[in-house]
Amino acid sequence: MSDPRITENGRIGQVDATVVPRFAGPATFARLPRADDVSDLDVAIIGVPFDAGVSYRPGARFGPGHVRESSRLLRPYNPAAGVSPFAELQVADAGDLAVNPFDIGAAIERIHHGARSVLERAPRLVTIGGDHTIALPLLRAMAERHGGPIAVVHFDAHLDTWDSYFGADYVHGTPFRRAAEEGLIDGTGSMHVGIRGPLYAATDLTDDAALGFQVVHSHEMDDIGARGVVERIHRRVEDRPVYVSLDIDVLDPAFAPGTGTPEAGGLSSRELLTILRGFASLNLVGADVVEVSPAYDHAEITGIAAAHALYELLSAMALSRPRPGPRRS
Protein backbone atom coordinates (compact mmCIF):
# COMPACT_ATOMS: atom_id res chain seq x y z
CA MET A 1 0.00 0.00 0.00
CA SER A 2 1.48 3.36 -0.93
CA ASP A 3 1.03 6.01 1.74
CA PRO A 4 -0.13 9.57 0.98
CA ARG A 5 2.89 11.84 0.98
CA ILE A 6 3.47 15.55 1.25
CA THR A 7 4.71 16.71 -2.15
CA GLU A 8 6.03 20.23 -2.61
CA ASN A 9 7.99 21.82 -5.48
CA GLY A 10 7.86 18.41 -7.18
CA ARG A 11 9.76 16.81 -4.32
CA ILE A 12 8.43 13.72 -2.65
CA GLY A 13 8.41 14.30 1.08
CA GLN A 14 7.22 12.70 4.28
CA VAL A 15 4.25 10.40 4.72
CA ASP A 16 1.43 12.82 5.61
CA ALA A 17 0.94 12.50 9.40
CA THR A 18 -2.53 14.07 9.13
CA VAL A 19 -3.63 11.00 7.16
CA VAL A 20 -1.43 8.16 8.40
CA PRO A 21 -0.64 8.35 12.13
CA ARG A 22 3.03 8.96 12.60
CA PHE A 23 3.48 5.83 14.68
CA ALA A 24 2.22 3.66 11.79
CA GLY A 25 4.26 2.26 8.93
CA PRO A 26 7.97 1.72 8.35
CA ALA A 27 10.52 4.03 9.95
CA THR A 28 12.58 5.60 7.23
CA PHE A 29 14.25 8.78 8.52
CA ALA A 30 11.46 11.35 9.13
CA ARG A 31 9.13 9.02 7.17
CA LEU A 32 10.79 10.20 3.97
CA PRO A 33 10.70 8.06 0.82
CA ARG A 34 13.16 5.28 0.23
CA ALA A 35 15.87 6.17 -2.25
CA ASP A 36 14.55 3.53 -4.68
CA ASP A 37 11.23 5.40 -4.81
CA VAL A 38 12.58 8.71 -6.15
CA SER A 39 14.38 9.50 -9.38
CA ASP A 40 16.57 12.51 -8.49
CA LEU A 41 18.31 12.77 -5.15
CA ASP A 42 19.81 15.87 -3.52
CA VAL A 43 20.63 14.20 -0.22
CA ALA A 44 20.87 10.48 0.56
CA ILE A 45 20.59 9.26 4.13
CA ILE A 46 22.25 5.97 4.97
CA GLY A 47 22.57 3.95 8.14
CA VAL A 48 25.81 2.25 9.16
CA PRO A 49 25.03 -0.28 11.90
CA PHE A 50 28.59 -0.92 13.05
CA ASP A 51 30.05 -0.85 16.56
CA ALA A 52 33.03 -3.21 16.55
CA GLY A 53 35.34 -0.22 17.17
CA VAL A 54 34.13 0.84 20.62
CA SER A 55 36.37 1.09 23.68
CA TYR A 56 33.67 1.07 26.37
CA ARG A 57 29.88 0.55 26.17
CA PRO A 58 28.72 -1.20 22.99
CA GLY A 59 25.40 -0.94 21.15
CA ALA A 60 25.80 1.82 18.53
CA ARG A 61 25.07 -0.82 15.86
CA PHE A 62 21.45 -0.25 16.83
CA GLY A 63 21.78 3.52 16.38
CA PRO A 64 20.43 3.80 12.81
CA GLY A 65 17.19 1.97 13.60
CA HIS A 66 16.73 3.87 16.86
CA VAL A 67 17.30 7.31 15.35
CA ARG A 68 14.88 6.54 12.51
CA GLU A 69 12.25 5.48 15.08
CA SER A 70 12.95 8.65 17.05
CA SER A 71 12.47 10.80 13.91
CA ARG A 72 8.77 10.00 13.37
CA LEU A 73 7.60 13.25 14.96
CA LEU A 74 9.62 15.61 12.76
CA ARG A 75 7.24 17.94 10.93
CA PRO A 76 7.81 19.48 7.50
CA TYR A 77 8.48 23.12 8.45
CA ASN A 78 11.46 24.28 10.51
CA PRO A 79 10.37 27.64 11.99
CA ALA A 80 13.70 28.43 13.67
CA ALA A 81 15.51 28.13 10.34
CA GLY A 82 12.59 29.39 8.23
CA VAL A 83 12.70 26.52 5.76
CA SER A 84 10.86 23.34 4.75
CA PRO A 85 13.93 21.22 4.07
CA PHE A 86 12.12 18.43 2.22
CA ALA A 87 10.46 20.93 -0.13
CA GLU A 88 13.85 22.46 -1.08
CA LEU A 89 15.82 19.22 -1.40
CA GLN A 90 14.87 15.75 -2.49
CA VAL A 91 15.92 13.79 0.56
CA ALA A 92 15.50 10.02 0.73
CA ASP A 93 16.57 7.15 2.93
CA ALA A 94 18.89 4.69 1.17
CA GLY A 95 18.75 2.16 4.02
CA ASP A 96 21.63 0.51 5.85
CA LEU A 97 25.00 -0.63 4.56
CA ALA A 98 25.49 -4.31 5.37
CA VAL A 99 28.83 -4.24 7.17
CA ASN A 100 30.88 -7.07 8.65
CA PRO A 101 30.44 -7.07 12.45
CA PHE A 102 33.58 -9.16 13.06
CA ASP A 103 36.20 -7.66 10.75
CA ILE A 104 36.85 -3.93 11.20
CA GLY A 105 39.04 -3.69 8.09
CA ALA A 106 36.39 -5.32 5.91
CA ALA A 107 33.71 -3.06 7.40
CA ILE A 108 35.80 0.05 6.66
CA GLU A 109 36.25 -1.06 3.04
CA ARG A 110 32.52 -1.73 2.69
CA ILE A 111 31.59 1.68 4.15
CA HIS A 112 34.07 3.44 1.87
CA HIS A 113 32.73 1.77 -1.27
CA GLY A 114 29.10 2.02 -0.14
CA ALA A 115 29.43 5.76 0.53
CA ARG A 116 31.24 6.25 -2.77
CA SER A 117 28.47 4.61 -4.76
CA VAL A 118 25.78 6.61 -2.93
CA LEU A 119 27.72 9.81 -3.71
CA GLU A 120 27.61 8.89 -7.41
CA ARG A 121 23.85 9.18 -7.16
CA ALA A 122 23.40 11.99 -4.62
CA PRO A 123 25.62 15.06 -4.28
CA ARG A 124 25.29 15.06 -0.49
CA LEU A 125 25.43 12.23 2.00
CA VAL A 126 24.12 12.12 5.56
CA THR A 127 24.97 9.06 7.65
CA ILE A 128 23.50 7.67 10.85
CA GLY A 129 26.00 5.55 12.82
CA GLY A 130 27.35 3.42 14.14
CA ASP A 131 30.43 4.16 16.23
CA HIS A 132 32.90 6.87 15.27
CA THR A 133 35.21 4.48 13.40
CA ILE A 134 32.92 4.96 10.41
CA ALA A 135 34.00 8.60 9.95
CA LEU A 136 37.27 7.44 8.35
CA PRO A 137 35.77 5.59 5.36
CA LEU A 138 33.08 8.28 5.03
CA LEU A 139 35.81 10.93 4.79
CA ARG A 140 37.66 8.84 2.21
CA ALA A 141 34.54 8.90 0.04
CA MET A 142 33.92 12.62 0.66
CA ALA A 143 37.52 13.59 -0.18
CA GLU A 144 37.32 11.57 -3.40
CA ARG A 145 34.02 13.22 -4.31
CA HIS A 146 35.47 16.70 -3.75
CA GLY A 147 38.85 16.07 -5.29
CA GLY A 148 41.00 16.70 -2.21
CA PRO A 149 41.15 17.20 1.52
CA ILE A 150 37.97 18.42 3.10
CA ALA A 151 37.26 20.80 6.00
CA VAL A 152 35.81 18.88 8.95
CA VAL A 153 33.85 20.34 11.84
CA HIS A 154 33.87 17.60 14.44
CA PHE A 155 31.47 17.82 17.39
CA ASP A 156 32.55 15.49 20.18
CA ALA A 157 33.57 15.25 23.81
CA HIS A 158 36.64 13.38 22.50
CA LEU A 159 39.43 14.36 20.15
CA ASP A 160 39.35 10.97 18.38
CA THR A 161 42.89 11.65 17.16
CA TRP A 162 44.50 9.08 19.42
CA ASP A 163 46.93 6.64 17.83
CA SER A 164 45.83 3.11 18.75
CA TYR A 165 44.08 1.01 21.39
CA PHE A 166 45.38 -2.45 22.37
CA GLY A 167 47.44 -2.33 19.19
CA ALA A 168 44.38 -1.63 17.01
CA ASP A 169 44.77 1.37 14.70
CA TYR A 170 41.22 1.56 13.35
CA VAL A 171 38.79 2.10 16.23
CA HIS A 172 36.45 4.84 17.39
CA GLY A 173 39.16 6.83 19.19
CA THR A 174 41.39 7.14 16.10
CA PRO A 175 39.43 8.06 12.93
CA PHE A 176 40.61 11.66 12.64
CA ARG A 177 44.28 10.80 13.14
CA ARG A 178 44.05 8.16 10.39
CA ALA A 179 42.13 10.60 8.18
CA ALA A 180 44.75 13.33 8.70
CA GLU A 181 47.56 10.85 7.95
CA GLU A 182 45.79 9.86 4.74
CA GLY A 183 45.53 13.52 3.68
CA LEU A 184 41.73 13.55 3.81
CA ILE A 185 41.42 16.54 6.14
CA ASP A 186 42.00 20.19 5.24
CA GLY A 187 44.32 21.18 8.06
CA THR A 188 43.64 24.88 7.49
CA GLY A 189 39.86 24.64 7.88
CA SER A 190 39.08 21.97 10.46
CA MET A 191 38.14 22.02 14.12
CA HIS A 192 36.75 20.08 17.05
CA VAL A 193 33.85 21.51 19.07
CA GLY A 194 32.78 20.42 22.56
CA ILE A 195 35.98 18.72 23.73
CA ARG A 196 36.09 17.95 27.45
CA GLY A 197 36.97 15.40 30.05
CA PRO A 198 40.20 13.76 31.16
CA LEU A 199 42.86 12.99 28.55
CA TYR A 200 45.69 10.45 28.57
CA ALA A 201 48.30 13.25 28.68
CA ALA A 202 48.70 16.95 27.87
CA THR A 203 50.43 15.90 24.66
CA ASP A 204 47.07 14.61 23.34
CA LEU A 205 46.26 18.27 22.65
CA THR A 206 49.60 19.22 21.09
CA ASP A 207 49.58 16.07 18.93
CA ASP A 208 46.07 16.96 17.83
CA ALA A 209 47.04 20.53 16.94
CA ALA A 210 49.93 19.20 14.85
CA LEU A 211 47.39 17.30 12.76
CA GLY A 212 45.71 20.62 11.84
CA PHE A 213 42.76 20.88 14.19
CA GLN A 214 41.63 23.90 16.18
CA VAL A 215 39.60 23.24 19.33
CA VAL A 216 36.59 24.90 20.91
CA HIS A 217 36.47 23.32 24.34
CA SER A 218 33.11 22.65 25.98
CA HIS A 219 33.81 25.07 28.83
CA GLU A 220 34.33 27.91 26.34
CA MET A 221 30.56 27.78 25.71
CA ASP A 222 30.17 29.58 29.07
CA ASP A 223 32.06 32.61 27.77
CA ILE A 224 31.27 32.78 24.05
CA GLY A 225 27.89 31.00 23.87
CA ALA A 226 26.46 29.22 20.85
CA ARG A 227 26.70 32.34 18.66
CA GLY A 228 30.36 32.77 19.53
CA VAL A 229 31.00 29.16 18.52
CA VAL A 230 29.26 29.76 15.19
CA GLU A 231 31.53 32.78 14.60
CA ARG A 232 34.63 30.70 15.38
CA ILE A 233 33.46 28.00 12.94
CA HIS A 234 32.77 30.54 10.19
CA ARG A 235 36.18 32.15 10.63
CA ARG A 236 37.84 28.75 10.35
CA VAL A 237 35.82 27.16 7.56
CA GLU A 238 35.10 30.17 5.32
CA ASP A 239 33.69 28.99 1.98
CA ARG A 240 35.33 25.56 1.90
CA PRO A 241 33.15 22.51 1.34
CA VAL A 242 32.63 21.30 4.90
CA TYR A 243 31.77 17.94 6.43
CA VAL A 244 30.18 17.78 9.89
CA SER A 245 30.92 14.74 12.03
CA LEU A 246 28.69 14.79 15.08
CA ASP A 247 29.36 12.41 17.94
CA ILE A 248 26.20 12.58 20.06
CA ASP A 249 28.38 12.50 23.19
CA VAL A 250 29.16 16.16 22.51
CA LEU A 251 25.88 16.64 24.39
CA ASP A 252 25.86 16.44 28.15
CA PRO A 253 24.80 12.97 29.38
CA ALA A 254 21.64 14.68 30.67
CA PHE A 255 20.72 15.33 27.02
CA ALA A 256 22.25 12.17 25.54
CA PRO A 257 22.48 9.32 28.04
CA GLY A 258 22.35 6.70 25.29
CA THR A 259 25.96 6.69 24.20
CA GLY A 260 29.08 4.64 24.75
CA THR A 261 31.63 6.98 26.31
CA PRO A 262 29.71 9.71 28.18
CA GLU A 263 31.52 12.70 29.75
CA ALA A 264 29.97 15.25 32.11
CA GLY A 265 29.89 18.95 31.26
CA GLY A 266 28.65 18.87 27.69
CA LEU A 267 26.45 21.00 25.47
CA SER A 268 22.69 21.19 25.84
CA SER A 269 20.64 20.05 22.87
CA ARG A 270 19.42 23.64 22.46
CA GLU A 271 23.00 24.92 22.21
CA LEU A 272 23.85 22.26 19.64
CA LEU A 273 20.78 22.98 17.50
CA THR A 274 21.57 26.72 17.55
CA ILE A 275 25.13 26.04 16.41
CA LEU A 276 23.97 23.71 13.61
CA ARG A 277 21.51 26.37 12.42
CA GLY A 278 24.55 28.58 11.90
CA PHE A 279 25.70 26.23 9.13
CA ALA A 280 23.07 27.59 6.73
CA SER A 281 25.58 30.01 5.20
CA LEU A 282 28.35 27.42 4.91
CA ASN A 283 28.87 24.97 2.03
CA LEU A 284 27.77 21.87 3.90
CA VAL A 285 28.40 18.82 1.71
CA GLY A 286 27.98 15.91 4.12
CA ALA A 287 27.42 14.90 7.71
CA ASP A 288 27.22 12.02 10.11
CA VAL A 289 25.64 11.54 13.53
CA VAL A 290 27.31 8.72 15.42
CA GLU A 291 27.58 6.95 18.78
CA VAL A 292 23.87 6.66 19.63
CA SER A 293 23.63 3.47 21.72
CA PRO A 294 19.94 2.80 22.38
CA ALA A 295 20.40 0.25 25.19
CA TYR A 296 21.59 3.14 27.39
CA ASP A 297 18.88 5.53 26.19
CA HIS A 298 15.76 6.38 28.15
CA ALA A 299 12.50 7.64 26.67
CA GLU A 300 14.31 8.16 23.33
CA ILE A 301 16.09 11.22 24.80
CA THR A 302 19.25 10.55 22.80
CA GLY A 303 17.45 9.31 19.69
CA ILE A 304 15.30 12.44 19.56
CA ALA A 305 18.31 14.72 20.06
CA ALA A 306 20.06 12.93 17.17
CA ALA A 307 16.98 13.14 14.95
CA HIS A 308 16.63 16.88 15.58
CA ALA A 309 20.34 17.44 14.96
CA LEU A 310 19.94 15.69 11.59
CA TYR A 311 16.88 17.80 10.82
CA GLU A 312 18.87 21.00 11.49
CA LEU A 313 21.72 19.74 9.30
CA LEU A 314 19.27 19.01 6.47
CA SER A 315 17.68 22.43 6.96
CA ALA A 316 21.12 24.05 6.74
CA MET A 317 21.80 22.11 3.53
CA ALA A 318 18.47 23.33 2.15
CA LEU A 319 19.47 26.94 2.84
CA SER A 320 23.12 26.74 1.80
CA ARG A 321 24.28 27.26 -1.73
CA PRO A 322 24.16 24.00 -3.67
CA ARG A 323 27.68 23.94 -4.97
CA PRO A 324 29.26 20.58 -4.34
CA GLY A 325 32.14 20.03 -6.70
CA PRO A 326 35.89 20.24 -6.84
CA ARG A 327 37.54 22.00 -3.96
CA ARG A 328 38.66 25.58 -4.45
CA SER A 329 42.35 25.96 -5.16
Ligand X SMILES: N=C(N)NCCCC(=O)O
Task: Please report, in range form, the residues annotated as the binding site for Mn(2+).
Answer: 132, 156, 158, 160, 247, 249
Chain residues binding ligand X by CB under 6 A are 55-56, 132, 158, 160, 172-173, 247, 249, 260-261, 291
Among 156, 186, 208, 252, interactor with Zn ion by CB under 5 A: 156
Task: Work out what residue 55 binds among Zn ion, ligand X, none; the CB cut-off runs from 5 to 8 Å by kind.
Answer: ligand X
Stretch binding Zn ion (CB under 5 A), from 185-193, 202-210, 233-241, 249-257: 249-257
Among 247, 271, 288, 297, interactor with Zn ion by CB under 5 A: 247
Return left, alpha or beta for 14; rule: phi > 0 is left, psi -120 to 50 is alpha, else beta: beta
Q: How far is the CB of 232 from ligand X (least distance, A)?
A: 22
Q: How far is the CB of 215 from ligand X (least distance, A)?
A: 15
Please tell me the distance from the alpha carbon of residue 76 to that of residue 311, in angstroms, as a whole number: 10
Check residue 271 for interaction with Zn ion (CB under 5 A): no
Please tell me the distance from the alpha carbon of residue 175 to that of residue 198, in angstroms, as a whole number: 19
Nearest Cα to 141, choosing from 121, 118, 171?
118
Stretch binding Zn ion (CB under 5 A), from 73-81, 98-106, 140-148, 150-158: 150-158
* Residues contributing to the annotated binding site: 132, 156, 158, 160, 247, 249
Q: Which is nearer to ligand X, 217 or 227 (CB)?
A: 217
**How many CB atoms lie under 10 A from the CB of residue 202?**
8
Q: Which is nearer to ligand X, 310 or 318 (CB)?
A: 310
Task: Work out what residue 88 binds among Zn ion, ligand X, none; the CB cut-off runs from 5 to 8 Å by kind.
Answer: none
Pairing verdict, β 91-96 and 124-129: unpaired
Please tell me the distance from the alpha carbon of residue 292 to that of residue 294, in angstroms, as a whole number: 6
Q: What sign does the dihedral 15-16-19-20 (CA atoms) show?
A: positive
Please tell me the distance from the alpha carbon of residue 57 to that of residue 51, in angstroms, as a whole number: 10
Please tell me the distance from the alpha carbon of residue 216 to that of residue 218, in angstroms, as a whole number: 7
Q: Which residues lie near Zn ion (CB under 5 A)?
A: 132, 156-158, 160, 247, 249
